[in-house]
Amino acid sequence: MNILLLEDDLILSAELCKFLESNQITCAKVFDGETFLREIKNNTYDLYLLDINVPKMNGLDVCQTLRTFDKTTPIIILSAYGDLSDKKDAFTRLADDYLVKPFQFEELLLRINSLLRRKTQSDNIELDVITVEDLIINKTEQKVFRSGNEIALTLKEFQLLVYLAEAQGRTVSKQQITEHVWEHNFNTNTNTVEVYINFLRKKLDKDFPVKLIHTRSGFGYYLSPL
C-alpha cells in the first residue's frame, strides 16, 4: 500500500508517516499543492491524504484538479475546519472522506483500510465487465450487448468471445483457442474454431458498420475495432 500525504506541518507529517509505515503502509510526503501535483505525474499511489491549508495550492483545489484525470484513487481530506459547509465543499470536489483535526491516527487507519477495501471490491467488479468499442461483455451474468442490444450466445460462443476480448487486441492462434476454450476435448484438426468464429461474426459483426472480429492470415484471430 502506497500513500501520498500533502501536509505542511512538518511534525505532524513526520509522525503520521511514521505511524503509517509501522502499519505496513508506505507514506511519501510533500508540503505544498504544486509539488503534490508534480509528484503524482511521476508515481502511482493507492490513496491520497490532503490537508486543506497548504502553500501554493490548497488541498481542495488539488482535490478538484486531481479528479479531472484520476476519478478512482481514494482521497481523504485532513483539516482543522470542521463546519458542515467545509465538509460539503470537500465532497462537492469529489473527496471520499473528511477527517477533522486533531484526530486519532488509529481512526485514520480504519478509514484508509475501509476505502481501500471498497476500491478493491469495485476493481474486482469492473474486471467482470469487458468493453470493446460498443461491445459490452458481462462475465458475471454471461450477457453480451452491442450498441445497447443484447446478443444471445451459446456457452461456447460466449467463452470464445471472452477469450478473444481478454487478449486485448492480440492475435490468438487456433491452437491457443482450443487449449483455452475447448481444453483439447476435440480434434484440433477440425474446422470447429473457424465455424465458431463465423457464428460470432454473424451475431456480432454482420449488422454493424464497425467489424470487431478479424483474421490475421496464417496466425489466428483478434478482437479489435481497428
Cis peptide before 102 (omega within 30 of 0): yes
How many Å apart are CA 34 and CA 58, to the nearest integer? 9
Give the chain's mean pLDDT: 89
User: CA dihedral defined by 10, 15, 19, 24, rounded to 10 degrees?
Assistant: 40
Does residue 215 have a pLDDT over 80? yes
pLDDT digits (tens, 9 = 90+) for 26-70: 999 999 999 999 999 888 899 999 999 999 999 999 999 999 888
Closest C-alpha among 79, 105, 103 to residue 90: 79
Cα–Cα distance between 28 and 42 in angstroms, integer? 13
* 185 has pLDDT over 80: no
pTM value surpassing 0.75? no
Any alpha helices (H) in the chain, and if so which ranges? Answer: 10-22, 33-42, 59-66, 84-92, 105-127, 155-166, 174-177, 192-204
C-alpha cell at 121: 471490491
pLDDT one-digit tens code per residue, 171-184: 999 989 988 888 76
pLDDT, average across residues 102-127: 79
**Residue 1 pLDDT:** 84
pLDDT digits (tens, 9 = 90+) for 186-197: 555 558 899 999
Q: Are 161 and 153 in contact (CB under 8 A)?
A: yes
What are the phi and psi torsion angles at 199 (to 5°)?
-60, -45
Q: What is the pLDDT of residue 121?
A: 62
Are 18 and 29 contacting, i.e. CB atoms less than 8 angstroms apart? Answer: no
pLDDT at 186: 53
Q: What is the pLDDT of residue 170?
A: 92
Quickly count: other Cβ atoms within 10 Å of residue 41's Cβ. Answer: 7
Average pLDDT over residues 4-22: 94
Mean pLDDT of 88-111: 92
pLDDT for the residue 27: 94
Angle at 126 between CA 122 and CA 132, to 5 degrees: 160
**Grid coordinates of 225:** 475495432
Question: What is residue 79's predicted lDDT score, i.e. its pLDDT?
Answer: 92
Residue 35 is predicted with a pLDDT of 94
33-42 vs 59-66: helix crossing angle, rounded to 10: 30
Estimate to the nearest angstrom the gap between the alpha carbon of 2 and the chain centroid: 16
175: CB partners within 8 A, 6+ apart: 188
Distance CA 34, CA 54 (A): 10
**What is the chain's length?**
226
Give the H/E segment covering residue 72: none
**Tens of pLDDT along 117-161?**
877 666 655 568 888 888 999 988 899 999 888 999 999 999 999
Q: What is the DSSP letter of 172?
A: B
| Average pLDDT of the segment spanning 11-29 | 94
